[in-house]
Chains A and B, each alone.
Chain A
Amino acid sequence: MAQVIYVPCPECRRQFYVGPEFFSIPDSYCHCPYCGKEFSVCESPEASRSPGVGTYKKRPGTGA
């Protein structure tokens, strides 16, 4: 299935979705499209419980 993970923003609590790379790339962070808050997915524990997390294989150099 699609590797889309819903993430609630820790600031405004609105949900948006991110690719799974945010769970595998150290120092990556999300940007809330609603309020502009930048945060690590670790700050949004609901996100890490989503199905599909951790199955992603990083492809170097492609940005994917």
Chain B
Amino acid sequence: MEGLRSFIEAYERSCPGDVVHIKEKIDARYEITALIQEIERANKFPILVFDRVCSNGRKFDFKLATLIHSSRKRIAFLLNTSPQQIGNAYNERLQKRFPPEVVPKKAAPVKQVVRRGAEADLTAFPAPIHHEMDPGPYITGGFLTCYDPDTGIENSAIHRGWIKEKDEVRVYLTPATHNAIILAKHEQRGQDMRAAFWIGHHPLVVLGCEAAIPFGDSHYATAGGFLGKPLRVTPSETLGEDFLVPADAEVVIEGIVPHGQRRPEGPFGEYTRYSGPQKWNPFIKVTAVTHRKDAYWESVPVGHAHWVSSVAREGMAFEAIRRVVPTVRSVYVPMSGCGVFHLYIQIQNAVEGSARTALVAGLLSHYLVKHAFVFDEDVDIFDEREVLHALATRFRGDKDLIVIPGITGPALDPSAEGILTTKVGFDCTKPFGEPFARTLSIPDEVRKSPKLQEILGSLPWKEMPEESG
């Protein structure tokens, strides 16, 4: 039974310094985010477990876990690879699918506590208020599962959810997402939509369910591929025996999205590091809440380092590019591009046209990729100083640029018009087949000479001031 708590316990035994328990009382209103921001500034990303979360003087009964996917080293550990090869490893796991295994409710830890109807109270959970202008506590680490009325296949994706009332969650089904398409299908039939948020699961399940797979494919199956065995699921309490929820989640929120109805949702501090505007959005009327005893509430630090979307985009991009440019070496979706907008591609530039081909494939690998950059093998795409140097010295705007206007893009990008953006590709490779300037170098025998090492060893390193910028 793979779940969030079993992972945290096992991981803490392997990497004891990388799980930090906060015993002090901490307020769900801004304080958790403020602490995360300071830890992020120190370039540290341990898993944080808050034991005593409170709000308005009330202490919550549940622990809060966060930063689970905020370290690339940890994700590499999960995928049994190096941080530089995450895209490749992600894609390998994505090729394996296992249909989910249905287990009876009594074998499902998430059914240890069941609250139906008026007994369901979402305000019992320590969902943080993350940033100023957020209207209230938000579900940020929850997967919303819906079923396609045509095929009966589930779709699961992370969506933000404002806990507006004890029995109401307002959700942003971003346009162009599969859950938005499924809702539209229900509404065209005049039907309400059954939906469930599930929160807190093994981080490999989270990685698998974040994959952007073709519409109609099951995320429960991809989750199994990442786990290496079928995902355990169990029937819902109030949405029918055919509506299956993850048996080993920490919390499941079941409900109905009334067709044709909208309510204001947001503003909300988003992954773009801006507040996204208030939207006229659907909502879930909660019919039941089930959870483990002493459940962990997982919160994603939106707007701060969080690599789930990035590594999923890397996996999709690596596969899309590899189909047309087999000499792709590595891909990287950096946090400086909000973890989704920028894609760095490293190729062995073996065939004329490969660089631009890789750019087009990368740009179209996902609607969230806005700018793609392609580099030669000698550029370390994980070092943004090298990336910017190559952009500065190998790119010419009149011939190395690809511009695709009027294409579906990230709706939350403040520069987008509705859901339309302009995708741009930057060819930062050296001109193919032509002589190019030689990068600076110093003979190895000089760099590694004992004399130089002796001088370096004698320098007053600690006294020398660090350059801040």
Contact = CB atoms under 8 A, between A and B. Distances in A.
B264 A60 contact: no
Interface string B393-413: 000000000000000000101
Contacts of A28: 262, 264, 280
A18 B417 contact: no
A47 B88 CA distance: 48
Interface residues of A, number: 26
Given A33-B267, A38-B264, A62 B278 contact: no
Interface of A: 1-5, 16-19, 21-22, 25, 28-31, 33, 38, 56-57, 59-64
B124 interface: no
B54 interface: no
Tell me if B's interface is mostly helix, strand, loop or mixed: loop
Contacts of B417: 1-3
Closest 3 CB pairs of A and B: A61-B184, A33-B135, A31-B264
Contact of A61 (B134, B188, B280, B418): B188
The A interface, classified by DSSP as helix, strand, loop or mixed, is loop
A28 B175 CA distance: 19
Contact of A64 (B136, B175, B264, B414): B175
Nearest to A2: B414
Given A17-B275, A59-B175, A64 B411 contact: yes
Interface in B153-188: 172-173, 175-176, 180, 183-184, 187-188
A45 to B, nearest CB: 18
Contact of B133 (A33, A57, A63): A33
A4 B267 CA distance: 11
A18 B277 contact: yes
A31 B278 contact: yes
A30 B278 CA distance: 8
A63 B277 contact: no
